[in-house]
């Protein structure tokens, strides 16, 4: 959808990008999005977190062998239970799963197994046992005392002549065993053991990890890298230069999809089975600790990783770019917004702990909020959503306030904070004469700013002065996008007046941004007196000349004031500012900073689009082409899409999409030390003054949370902050606006009362399973107890789904909580109780953060207290995404309590559509399955209303039926048969590709 159809022709004149829609865009298909889930086994016991091995079992439980003993985490828990206590407790070394689903554990005193149903020590192998591995013929236990095989319900000791330093073992599937030791690789069979240790056989004799590649070769890892062997001997090898971040290999495991996972002393490297480019996982973004001891995979293909600092799980879930945008946007509004409408970084009082988040100020809040303003403007232009326009206005209001709060004639602040904040960056200070001398020697342009924070006239705010050129550039980009894409006529007048006041201030002060002390700010300098006649301003001469030309051109265009055009031409003709600017294409290495790329990006659009003189326009286009040619190598979608916006091209689309897919969901600014990686080299390029790595890695491997941060940096990050995701959302919505990314209308799924095929309906177990299955909504039914407490239960009576009897509204909440809501389904769910609405919301909010889910609530309002329901959902950040189903009366009450509520009345026939639209302006219609038709769905979509339906019951369930509804264009199917739906949607996507 596009905004204001009548203005499309105007947009096509202003932005050549409209031509791009004639080329082939990227279709937004689902992809696997990875994310990290970390576990501390025991915060009070360091040895418990020193993990040697990990193994999921068929029930979804996770077993670990640690220095502190054997632990298990049950499938629905985050708590680890110590399985062996008392004198038998001690270190364990390896865990394996046999073909029958039984766990085997190598421990200090022998072997433990759950063959009998409980974990017990077996008689036979003498401890300590270092390695346990399964084979067609049985289970092998290996350690310094020897090698045993469990077969036919008893242990036999094998007479293998091998070294006692056993580190790894794997079956050859033909009755033999490969054994890795400190002195080489053994292959043992019934009649002999052959040792391979020479350098023509292995990189080195120290072997710690072994597994088979899907091609049949065997990968042998240890000190120095990986040797790849076939039946004839060594055929290849992998050393650090081939993609290993560290040459000390601890484990090699093949994933279900054929990818080879390599655990090292410094992270994980992964080699796809098809031989494409490797990827690396390290740092707290992906691992609890970088020393990796073991890797195992569960039934869903998630990787469980044993480290010397806890257990990690690298999970994956299907996601589209549109879904990723929704995830980031919802999280941003919930976690990165502070008054008066500032989207920015927040501080974590404990490093990496996202539960300790508190508001924070940033030196460049104005600049980055301008990026948010640009993002909302593109979002509005791409979708026409009123919310995007409203929030763009709020973002502009903040930038406008930054000027007003100073009480001056055009100077604007960097940021504001509430007046009662006691902690802020760059607090006011004083300088002694000696300190001032030191600063002047270091930087002769230094300005001693002792009063940086000022009180607002109304006493409500503190505002930060000494505003920089970076701020002006960022503001300009935001104003430009807002004016072009989202501002109505009234707002355009506000922008024009605001820009005029700032421009008058600059001209009146000879192009210095002048603070309340009457002096220029440290960096707000565009005056010819400095740029052209002070040699110490040579580093900023080119870029600052371009900046002020762009500001004046923008001001002249939107205000219509000739005086700004004359000032612009004077700087070009009399001061040579355009000639100055050309030097940005060949800067002196001493003057170059990485962020200059993006300051240039901020100011080029106004010059390229607004200049009408053919000669000057050609000069700016030449600058644009040269700037892009220099910077396309950084593969930034913001750089690429800005260039495409101004040229009508689609350059670097593949790299941009790769970035958007690969960028992590985790917004903690983890420190990432790529300088320690031995697959990379540390260099002084592209920026001479910084230590960087020699190759640009994918964004999941570097600090990728803001565009001003150099992606080549060897070491970067601050885990005491959580960044806002505007860096990702802005290029995404630019591409959506330009039709470079085409959002595929995808039918979503709601889990009817949770995943009722797997767990008892309307219980936390059912809701957790539904979220694990990746549903978009979980449908809940709300009723009230006799004492007016809201609980989650479908039936009006207790008889069918609990061990109680009678009506729900005749039973107190205390009595309801004593009932089992799961025993009727299966005795293993006997502990499941009837959740209260508050319990359900607390669980969903916590769990969806743990697993990076975007799930929302589909609320069937059977018997509700509307104000209380709205308050609870708001408390747990579930209100905005919730869809409410109920009677027209109840839905009207909800709208009165929350004006933006997504309401969904039932629609039984098409003739009732218009009256319902007039009555409650719904977000969606719940349409009876037998009333669905292409005509009805199309008519609803023409009114921007979605269509939901229940695929439940005879004639409404099954893959073929769901495929038919998907083909009609239905927006959501509520179902018990989640996997059937997923197969139907997968078929639809495959059919569309073909």
Task: Specify whether the CB–CB gap between 699 and 663 falls below 8 A.
Answer: yes
Q: What is the pLDDT of residues 164-217, one digit of tens each?
A: 999 999 999 999 999 999 999 999 998 899 999 999 999 999 999 999 999 999
DSSP 26: E
| pLDDT at site 992 | 54
User: How far apart are the C-alpha atoms of 218 and 233, rounded to whole Å?
Assistant: 10
User: How far apart are the C-alpha atoms of 668 and 721, rounded to whole Å?
Assistant: 6
Long-range contacts of 898-904 (CB under 8 A, 24+ apart): 898/870, 898/874, 900/387, 901/870, 904/948
Query: Among 78-87, 404-413, 554-563, 950-959, which is the least confidently predicted range?
Result: 950-959
- pLDDT bucket at 596, cuts 50 / 70 / 90: very high
**Residue 536 pLDDT > 70, yes or no?**
yes
The residues pairing with 168 across neighbouring beta strands, listed in sequence order, are 180
- pLDDT bucket at 76, cuts 50 / 70 / 90: confident
Q: Distance from first CA to last CA of the chain, Å, rounded?
A: 25
Domain ranges of the chain: 31-319, 526-617, 748-794+835-993
Which strand ranges, in their side-by-side order, compose the sheet holding 416-418?
Answer: 416-418, 461-464, 453-455
Q: What is the pLDDT of residues 908-917, one digit of tens each?
A: 888 899 999 9
CA atoms within 13 A on the CB side of 293: 27
- pLDDT bucket at 989, cuts 50 / 70 / 90: low
Fold of 748-794+835-993: TIM Barrel (3.20.20)
β strands within 77-232, DSSP E: 80-82, 92-97, 103-107, 110-113, 120-121, 131-135, 138-143, 146-151, 154-158, 166-171, 177-181, 184-188, 193-196, 207-212, 218-222, 225-230
* Phi, psi angle pair for 948, to nearest 5°: -110, 155
The four Cα atoms 401, 405, 410, 414 give a dihedral, to 10 degrees, of -80
Peptide bond into 340 cis (omega under 30): yes
Task: Specify whether the CB–CB gap between 224 and 211 falls below 8 A.
Answer: no
**Residue 9 pLDDT > 70, yes or no?**
no
| pLDDT at site 20 | 41
User: How confident is the model over 111-121, as a mean pLDDT?
Assistant: 94
**Can you read off the two tokens belonging to residue 918?**
């007039």
Q: What is the pLDDT of residues 834-865, one digit of tens each?
A: 999 999 999 999 998 888 788 999 999 999 99
| pLDDT at site 944 | 86
User: How confident is the model over 552-557, as a mean pLDDT?
Assistant: 99
Task: Specify whether the CB–CB gap between 597 and 631 falls below 8 A.
Answer: yes
3-state per-residue secondary structure call for 137-165: CEEEEEECCEEEEEECCEEEEECCCCCCC
**Can you read off the two tokens belonging to residue 590?**
């001493």
Which residues does 321 contact at the CB level (< 8 Å), separation at least 6?
A: 28, 657, 660, 661, 732, 741, 743
**Can you read off the two tokens belonging to residue 883?**
């869809």
Q: What is the pLDDT of residues 86-98, one digit of tens each?
A: 999 999 999 999 9
User: How far apart are the C-alpha atoms of 395 and 917, rounded to whole Å?
Assistant: 31
| pLDDT at site 983 | 81
Strands 972-975 and 748-751: parallel
* Phi, psi angle pair for 566, to nearest 5°: -70, -40
Strands 26-27 and 31-39: unpaired
Task: Specify whether the CB–CB gap between 187 and 172 falls below 8 A.
Answer: yes
User: How far apart are the C-alpha atoms of 326 and 122, rounded to whole Å?
Assistant: 52
More confident site: 977 or 675: 675
User: How confident is the model over 644-666, as a mean pLDDT?
Assistant: 96
Radius of gyration for the chain, computed over Cα atoms and rounded to the nearest angstrom: 32
**Residue 316 pLDDT > 80, yes or no?**
yes
How far from the centroid of its chain's Cα atoms is residue 294's Cα?
A: 26
User: How far apart are the C-alpha atoms of 39 and 56, rounded to whole Å?
Assistant: 14
**Can you read off the two tokens belonging to residue 502?**
């700032």
**Mean pLDDT highest for which of 44-58, 434-448, 908-922?**
44-58
| pLDDT at site 21 | 39
Q: What is the DSSP annotation of 871-932?
A: HHHHHTT-TTT-EEES-HHHHHHHHHH-TT-EEE-EE-SGGGHHHHHHHH--SEEEE-GGG-
* Phi, psi angle pair for 917, to nearest 5°: -60, -45
- pLDDT bucket at 951, cuts 50 / 70 / 90: confident
Task: Specify whether the CB–CB gap between 70 and 52 falls below 8 A.
Answer: no
Residue 915 CB neighbour total at 10 angstroms: 10
Q: What is the pLDDT of residues 476-527, one digit of tens each?
A: 999 999 999 999 999 999 999 999 999 999 999 999 999 999 999 999 999 9
How far is the CA of 280 from the CAs of 303, 358, 655, 859, in angstroms?
14, 31, 18, 42
Q: Could you tell me where the DSSP H helices lie in 533-650?
A: 541-559, 562-573, 577-581, 596-610, 614-631, 637-647
pTM reported for the whole predicted model: 0.86
| pLDDT at site 692 | 97
- pLDDT bucket at 745, cuts 50 / 70 / 90: low
**Residue 988 pLDDT > 80, yes or no?**
no
3 state DSSP class of 241? helix
Task: Specify whether the CB–CB gap between 721 and 346 falls below 8 A.
Answer: yes
| pLDDT at site 29 | 82
State the average pLDDT for the chain.
94
User: How confident is the model over 786-800, as a mean pLDDT?
Assistant: 97
**Residue 741 pLDDT > 90, yes or no?**
yes
**Residue 81 pLDDT > 80, yes or no?**
yes
| pLDDT at site 11 | 38
Q: What percent of the chain has pLDDT over 90?
A: 86
User: How far apart are the C-alpha atoms of 706 and 711, rounded to whole Å?
Assistant: 10
The residues annotated as belonging to the active site are: 752, 794
Task: Specify whether the CB–CB gap between 412 and 402 falls below 8 A.
Answer: yes
Class (C level, CATH) for 31-319: mainly beta
Q: Give kind and range of the element (H or E) at residue 817.
A: helix 813-817
* Phi, psi angle pair for 345, to nearest 5°: -70, 155
User: How far apart are the C-alpha atoms of 982 and 989, rounded to whole Å?
Assistant: 11
């Amino acid at each position: 959808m596009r905004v204001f159809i009548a203005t499309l022709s105007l947009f096509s004149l202003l932005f050549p990008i409209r031509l791009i829609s004639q080329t082939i865009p990227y279709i937004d298909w689902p992809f696997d999005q990875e994310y990290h889930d970390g576990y501390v086994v025991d915060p009070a016991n360091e040895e418990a977190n020193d993990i040697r091995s990990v193994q999921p079992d068929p029930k979804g439980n996770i077993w670990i062998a640690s220095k502190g003993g054997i632990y298990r985490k049950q499938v629905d828990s985050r708590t680890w239970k110590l399985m062996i206590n008392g004198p038998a407790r001690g270190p364990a070394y390896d865990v394996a799963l046999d073909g029958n689903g039984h766990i085997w554990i190598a421990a200090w005193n022998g072997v433990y197994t759950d063959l009998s149903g409980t974990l017990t020590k077996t008689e036979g192998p003498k401890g300590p046992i270092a390695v346990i591995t399964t084979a067609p013929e049985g289970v092998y236990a290996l350690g310094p005392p020897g090698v045993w095989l469990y077969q036919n319900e008893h242990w036999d000791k094998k007479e293998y002549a091998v070294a006692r330093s056993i580190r790894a073992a794997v079956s050859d599937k033909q009755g033999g065993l490969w054994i890795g030791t400190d002195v080489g690789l053994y292959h043992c069979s019934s009649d002999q053991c052959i040792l391979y240790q020479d350098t023509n056989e292995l990189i080195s004799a120290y072997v710690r990890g072994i597994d088979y590649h899907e091609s049949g070769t065997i990968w042998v890892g240890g000190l120095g890298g990986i040797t790849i062997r076939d039946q004839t001997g060594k055929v290849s090898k992998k050393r650090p230069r081939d993609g290993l971040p560290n040459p000390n290999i601890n484990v090699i495991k093949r994933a279900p999809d054929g990818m080879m996972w390599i655990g090292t002393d410094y992270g994980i490297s992964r080699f796809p089975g098809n031989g494409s480019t490797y990827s690396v996982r390290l740092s707290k973004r992906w691992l609890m600790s970088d020393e990796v001891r073991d890797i195992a995979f569960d039934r869903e293909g998630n990787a469980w990783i044993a480290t010397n600092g806890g257990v990690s799980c690298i999970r994956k879930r299907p996601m589209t770019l549109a879904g990723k945008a929704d995830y980031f946007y919802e999280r941003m509004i919930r976690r990165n917004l502070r008054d008066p409408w500032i989207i920015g970084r927040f501080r974590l009082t404990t490093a990496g702990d996202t539960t300790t988040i508190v508001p924070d100020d940033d030196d460049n809040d104005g600049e980055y909020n301008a990026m948010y303003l640009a993002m909302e403007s593109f979002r509005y232009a791409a979708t026409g959503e009123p919310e995007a326009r409203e929030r763009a206005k709020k973002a502009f209001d903040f930038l406008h306030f930054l000027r007003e709060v100073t009480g001056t004639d055009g100077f604007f602040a960097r940021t504001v904070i509430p007046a009662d904040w006691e902690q802020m960056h760059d607090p006011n200070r004083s300088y002694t004469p000696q300190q001032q001398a030191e600063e002047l020697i270091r930087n002769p342009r230094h300005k001693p700013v002792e009063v940086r924070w000022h009180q607002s006239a109304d006493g409500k705010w503190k505002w930060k002065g000494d505003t920089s050129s970076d701020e002006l550039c960022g503001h300009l980009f935001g104003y430009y996008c807002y004016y072009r894409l989202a501002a109505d006529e009234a707002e355009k007048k506000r922008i024009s007046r605001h820009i005029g006041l700032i421009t008058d201030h600059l001209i009146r002060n000879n192009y210095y941004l002048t603070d309340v002390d009457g002096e220029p700010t440290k960096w707000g300098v565009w005056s010819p007196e400095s740029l052209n006649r002070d040699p110490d301003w040579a580093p900023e001469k080119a870029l600052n000349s371009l900046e002020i030309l762009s500001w004046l051109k923008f001001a002249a265009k939107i205000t219509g004031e000739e005086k700004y055009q004359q000032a612009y031409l004077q700087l070009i003709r009399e001061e040579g500012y355009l000639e100055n600017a050309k030097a940005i294409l060949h800067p002196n290495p001493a003057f170059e900073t990485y962020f200059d790329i993006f300051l240039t990006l901020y100011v080029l659009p106004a010059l390229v689009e607004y200049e009408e003189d053919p000669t000057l326009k050609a000069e700016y286009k030449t600058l644009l082409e040269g700037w892009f040619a220099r910077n396309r190598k950084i593969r930034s979608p913001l750089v690429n899409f800005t260039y495409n916006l101004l040229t009508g091209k689609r350059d670097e689309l593949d790299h941009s999409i790769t970035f958007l897919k690969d960028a992590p969901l985790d917004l903690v600014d983890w420190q990432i030390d790529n300088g320690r990686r031995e697959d990379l080299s540390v260099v002084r390029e592209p920026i001479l003054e910084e230590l960087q790595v020699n190759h640009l890695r994918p964004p999941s491997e570097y600090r990728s949370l803001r565009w001003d941060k150099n992606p080549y940096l060897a070491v970067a990050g601050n885990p005491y902050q959580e960044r806002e995701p505007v860096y990702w959302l802005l290029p995404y919505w630019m591409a959506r606006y330009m039709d470079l990314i085409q959002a595929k209308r995808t039918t979503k799924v709601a889990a009817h009362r949770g995943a009722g095929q797997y767990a008892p309906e309307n219980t936390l177990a059912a809701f957790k399973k539904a979220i694990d299955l990746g549903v978009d909504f979980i449908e809940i039914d709300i009723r009230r107890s006799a004492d007016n407490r809201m609980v989650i239960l479908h039936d009006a009576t207790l008889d069918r789904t609990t061990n109680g009897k009678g009506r729900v509204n005749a039973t107190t909440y205390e009595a309801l909580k004593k009932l089992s809501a799961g025993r009727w389904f299966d005795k293993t769910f006997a502990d499941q109780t009837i959740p209260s609405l508050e319990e359900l919301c607390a669980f969903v909010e916590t769990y969806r953060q743990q697993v990076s889910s975007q799930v929302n609530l589909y609320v069937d309002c059977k018997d509700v207290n509307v104000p209380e329901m709205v308050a609870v959902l708001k408390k747990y950040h579930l209100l905005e995404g919730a869809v409410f189903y109920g009677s027209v009366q109840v839905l009207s009450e909800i709208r009165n309590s929350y004006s933006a509520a997504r309401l969904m009345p039932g629609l039984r026939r098409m003739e009732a559509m218009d009256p319902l639209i007039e009555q409650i302006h719904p977000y969606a219609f719940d349409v009876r399955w037998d009333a669905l038709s292409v005509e009805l769905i199309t008519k609803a979509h023409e009114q921007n209303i979605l269509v939901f339906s229940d695929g439940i019951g005879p004639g409404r369930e099954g893959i073929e039926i769901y495929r038919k509804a998907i083909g009609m264009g239905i927006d959501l199917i509520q179902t018990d048969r989640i996997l059937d739906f997923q197969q139907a949607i997968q078929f639809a996507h495959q059919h569309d590709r073909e």
